Amino acid sequence: MKKMWFIMVLALGLLALTACSSESGDDAKTGGAAMAPSHATAASADGSFPFLGVAELDQYLETNAGRPTMLFFWATWCPSCKQQIPELETLQKDKGGQVNLVALSVDESQGALERYMGKHPMDVPVYWGSQDLARKFKVEAIPTLVIFDKTGKQIFSQAGVFPGSMLGAMVDKLNQ
């Protein structure tokens, strides 16, 4: 019996440390706020966050060509995602001029994102994303990092939590 509990606790711990499932029953609604500039870090005056779907991301990458982009898929209920946030804030502070950072919430409702951000503001550009965008990049777990080179071409996609030192090294490599 003790062995069974140990295995169960170990499995739950590993799950919490790696990534959270991003399955959901409902697709995010499309439409909504206009896309904010790449340096936006907060909600609009009405408290909503810019929507980022497939077309909006294509436009974002075109508009911000010349710098690599790191797109982080996350959700407010995901413990691993919350672990990644301080690393993203440090990266934004230290290397924000060298890379476009986008924290893309895949929460089922924008209200959940607004409530979370009201209590836990982030110093990283935050968008509310569509499930179509998550499907386009085959996001099966969160957090997931997708990297685009300076031309907007996808060059990397991997689920998991990344240490700040690794993210910084990625930015340096992308800018060589």
CA–CA separation, 132 and 136 (whole Å): 6
Question: Above 90 in pLDDT, residue 159?
Answer: yes
CA 41 to chain centre: 13
What pLDDT is stored for residue 127 in this prediction?
95
Beta strands in 9-151 (DSSP E): 20-21, 51-52, 69-74, 100-105, 126-129, 141-142, 144-148
What mean pLDDT comes out for the span 81-92? 95
Question: Above 70 in pLDDT, residue 45?
Answer: no
The model's pTM: 0.75
Give the chain's domains with CATH numbers. Answer: 40-174 (3.40.30.10)
Torsion of Cα atoms, 27 then 21 then 42 then 71, to 10°: -90
What mean pLDDT comes out for the span 111-133? 92
CA 94 to chain centre: 18
What mean pLDDT comes out for the span 97-109? 94
pLDDT tens for each residue of 47-73: 579 999 999 999 999 999 999 999 999
